[in-house]
Amino acid sequence: MRTVRVLVRGRVQGVGYRYWTERTAGDLGLTGWVRNRIDGSVEAVFSGRAADVDAMIARCQHGPRSAVVASVDVTDEPESRAPGFEVLPTG
């Protein structure tokens, strides 16, 4: 199991990035959350099998079709066992 916090910068708000993240993480069987940040970035926490988390990180490099990703910063976090995946309010 692996849990990471991801910060995605670029044109990632107003392009469906959060909902793409929710759907993609669900397809990979990951748990966690995603939210827009006031600074214009998108922040997410992904938890699951290490290979699936790595696959999600790779997909975040591109995001949905309308996104333009400038960078993806990844930080390992303590393991999380929260159920499901949710979209949180902007923080």
Active-site pick, 5, 9, 11, 18: 18
SS (H, E, C) the chain: CEEEEEEEEEECCCCCHHHHHHHHHHHCCCEEEEEECCCCCEEEEEEECHHHHHHHHHHHCCCCCCCEEEEEEEEECCCCCCCCEEECCCC
Active-site pick, 5, 9, 36, 59: 36
The reply to whether 35 belongs to the active site is: no
The reply to whether 65 belongs to the active site is: no
**Active centre residues (catalytic):** 18, 36
